[in-house]
Amino acid sequence: MEPDFLLRAVKAVVEVAGFAYLGQGLVAIFSGSAREQNVIYQVFRIVTGPVTKATRFLMPKFIPDRHIPFIAFGLLLWIWIFIIIGMASLARGR
């Protein structure tokens, strides 16, 4: 498998998860305390669930659960930045 294809595939997955976190946050802002009953919010939670669980596993236990989605989004952002750097270095090497 070509490294460029692999980086593009991982980048796409990271972008989908990142935009799902942004959408989930916007729905939470607009729907307030009724967000758990909102169908769109529930769909975003399904998409972001694996990333949130992986982040909870990686983070120390003293970090509250309510902060985990913010940390997960930050990790996705850094992963995306490193993927962009990797893609640029691959393109420069051609």
User: 94: pLDDT confidence band, cut at 50, 70 and 90?
Assistant: low
Angstrom distances, CA of residue 2 to CA of 5, 10, 39, 67, 86: 5, 13, 38, 37, 13
Other beta carbons within 10 Å of 91: 9
The pTM score is 0.89
CA-based nearest residue to 50, from 69, 65, 66: 69
Write the pLDDT tens digit of every residue in 22-62. Answer: 999 999 999 988 888 999 999 999 999 999 999 999 999 99
**Dist. CA 46–CA 50, nearest whole Å:** 8
Q: Where are the domains of the chain?
A: 3-93
Q: Is the pLDDT of residue 67 over 90?
A: yes
